[in-house]
Amino acid sequence: MFRSHRQNIRLGIPKDGLFKLGLLASVLQGLSAVALLGVSAWLISRAAEVNSIVYLGIAIVGVRGFAVGRATFRYLERILLHDSAFRMLAKRRPILFSRLVPFFPGGIAQLGRGETLSRVVSDVDELQNLPLRVIAPLLQAISISLASIVCVWLLLPSVGFLLCAAVLLGFLLAIPLSARSSRQSDTLISPLKAQLSDLSLNLIENQDVYLAYGWMPQKMDELRETDIRLRAAVSKTNTSTGIGLALLSLLATLAMLSGAWFGGLAVESGRLQGVWLAVLVLLPLAIFELIQNAQPAVSAYRRYSSSSGRVRELLEREIPDSLKITTGALTVRNFESIDLQSISVRYPGAEVDAVSGVNLRIEPGKKLLLSGESGSGKSSVALVLSRLMNAHSGLYLINGKPVEQFDFESVNKLIGLVEQNPTVFIGDVRANLLIAKPDASDPELMAILSRVGLWKMFESREGLDTQLGDRGVLISGGEAQRLALARALLANFQVLILDEPTANVDATQANRLMEDIFDILRDDQSRAIVLISHEGKYRSLVDLEIRLP
């Protein structure tokens, strides 16, 4: 367990000089804050004792210096720590990304524990909180407390001992108390919040049905009940946060009291010069302010640690054999035949094959329909064909030679897949097309768009600058499919696999879209087409149908 904590922490620590400088600034800031109060108290006490400014010179300089230092070091600390945290993130993000690449798409389901992509993203962002919200405040509080305890101990051991006890109690009692409240908030509040969010989403999404069928009042009641339970949970959590804070404040008072009592007695008996009494009494105020600042560090660490744990798991995950794509020495420009011979596909972590015994032959200019019920493994075959996944068993031959002997990139340029849900990236049409061919000119893009029947629509909007919106919300499912086809045509794949191109289109539009697609592709005599569809009705469009059981 400690090992895993150590590894989690290693993940989020920036390894540059900026970070160390930032921590130094943070410690100096704490020092200035405590020293400002200490030296001020000493200055005032000393002034009451003597009658010449000569005795105060250094203290006056110190007070001014620490006042400026407190603000300046704070500023430096924040700048340096943020900068180094961002640098650290800028390194981690690409590393994580390149580790994840082999898992797409065959291994995403296996990434684990209901991992969503947006969570991966926010988990990475969370890494910055280790240096900023955990290490810096804790280090500041601990180092300054220690330094103060040592100073006080040198003045008067008994008060030093009691201050040490109070600080320890603060760290061991009050801070864990607030950690408890953050744990409660994880176990009590987060599920209720998620439930509330689900309910409210459900209510908005299905509002028409709930209203039409008179079920709305019941749904509203459900929502309100959850809201009331959430309120109870929140108030319970806050009570323990409050207790933690109150305890810290009380400990500060007790430390002051002990300083006053024992310091006073020492002054009385002449063991301590009176001028130090104010320092002993007032110092705890400044120290406990720093400890209070460090209090959120525990809950911040909890959040950090679950995020970094997940990130680490992703980083350390082994690439399963089925996703390890090997590359060979041969390059392929043209193909005479592509054969799958008794191919089976098994997803990583699965016990059984998604599909097995697949035989098919692809030849230039031939159109093939791969059909079968949903779940029969058609898309898995497409993943193998497009080299996004390895077959579990069987032979995959290009021009009679095993595919592993060919350079991966040249195969990738030969065979292309138009996914069932093609990604439409945020941005304009141009950016979405250039993915397929970064050096394509605007006229080339316009020509390809006209070919797939999209140019008129985009021309009436803003041409190639037309924004497609988040996940392509600004275009229809059929238009997205045509755009994906345009991308594939730009890349000029010799083998084009179309995975259920009409899946996201109204039933009434599907036939037209499919006929259009085949119309568009009719001109290319040499290109081979593999159409994947659960509907047998498209067999009239192809040369051969292969039906998966």
* Near another protein by CB under 8 A: residue from 7, 17, 48, 359: 48
Find the part of the chain contacting another protein (CB under 8 A) among 1-9, 221-229, 439-447, 474-482.
221-229
Find the part of the chain contacting another protein (CB under 8 A) among 345-353, 357-365, 423-431, 439-447.
423-431
Nearer to another protein, 208 or 318 (CB): 208
Nearer to another protein, 409 or 462 (CB): 409
Distance in Å from the first CA to the final CA of the chain = 48
Q: At 411, list the tokens.
A: 């195969």
Residues 6+ away with beta carbon under 8 Å from 231: none
169 binding another protein? (CB under 8 A): no
* Near another protein by CB under 8 A: residue from 209, 350, 395, 474: 209
Report 238-257 residues binding another protein (CB under 8 A). Answer: 238-239, 241-243, 245-247, 249-250, 252-254, 256-257
The rounded distance, in Å, linking the Cα atoms of 241 and 176 is 10
The rounded distance, in Å, linking the Cα atoms of 309 and 12 is 11
Q: Do 523 and 347 meet the contact criterion of CB atoms below 8 Å apart?
A: no
478 binding another protein? (CB under 8 A): no
Q: How many CA atoms lie within 13 A of 400 on its CB side?
A: 1
Find the part of the chain contacting another protein (CB under 8 A) among 67-75, 148-156, 354-362, 474-482.
67-75
The rounded distance, in Å, linking the Cα atoms of 45 and 145 is 23
492 binding another protein? (CB under 8 A): no
Query: Sign of the CA dihedral 174, 175, 176, 182?
Result: positive
Give the contact letters, 366-405, x = binds to another protein (CB under 8 A), - = no.
Answer: --------------------x-x-----------------
DSSP result, 98-125: HHHGGGTTTTGGGG-TT--HHHHHHHHH
Report 82-141 residues binding another protein (CB under 8 A). Answer: 82-83, 86-87, 89-91, 93-94, 97-98, 100-101, 104-105, 117-118, 120-122, 124-125
Minimum Å gap between C-beta 437 and another protein is: 8
Q: How many CA atoms lie within 13 A of 538 on its CB side?
A: 28
* Near another protein by CB under 8 A: residue from 10, 64, 271, 324: 64
* Near another protein by CB under 8 A: residue from 9, 147, 192, 260: 260
Find the part of the chain contacting another protein (CB under 8 A) among 144-152, 207-215, 332-340, 535-543.
207-215
Q: Do 113 and 311 meet the contact criterion of CB atoms below 8 Å apart?
A: no
Nearest CA to 446 out of 438, 458, 437 is that of 458
283 binding another protein? (CB under 8 A): no
* Near another protein by CB under 8 A: residue from 3, 6, 53, 460: 53
Give the contact letters, 496-515, x = binds to another protein (CB under 8 A), - = no.
Answer: ----------xxxx------
Report 430-449 residues binding another protein (CB under 8 A). Answer: 435-436
* Near another protein by CB under 8 A: residue from 341, 412, 476, 504: 412
Find the part of the chain contacting another protein (CB under 8 A) among 133-141, 223-231, 348-356, 446-454.
223-231
- Count the site residues for another protein by CB under 8 A: 128
Residues 6+ away with beta carbon under 8 Å from 341: 359, 394, 395, 396, 397
Find the part of the chain contacting another protein (CB under 8 A) among 356-364, 392-400, 416-424, 440-448.
416-424
The rounded distance, in Å, linking the Cα atoms of 525 and 493 is 13
* Near another protein by CB under 8 A: residue from 23, 28, 63, 514: 63
* Near another protein by CB under 8 A: residue from 58, 60, 109, 150: 60
Give the contact letters, 333-362, x = binds to another protein (CB under 8 A), - = no.
Answer: ------------------------------
417 binding another protein? (CB under 8 A): yes
Give the contact letters, 444-473, x = binds to another protein (CB under 8 A), - = no.
Answer: ---------------------------x--
CA 521 to chain centre: 41
218 binding another protein? (CB under 8 A): yes
* Near another protein by CB under 8 A: residue from 74, 183, 302, 303: 74
The rounded distance, in Å, linking the Cα atoms of 36 and 65 is 8
List C-alpha distances in Å: 323 to 245, 378, 380, 519.
52, 18, 12, 35
193 binding another protein? (CB under 8 A): yes
Based on the number of CB atoms within 10 Å of its own CB, is 202 exposed (0-12), middle (13-18) or buried (19 or more)?
middle
The rounded distance, in Å, linking the Cα atoms of 212 and 206 is 10
Give the chain's largest Cα–Cα span: 110
Own/partner long-range contacts of 205-211 (Cβ < 8 Å, ≥24 apart): none
Query: Sign of the CA dihedral 89, 91, 94, 97?
Result: negative
* Near another protein by CB under 8 A: residue from 215, 402, 515, 519: 215
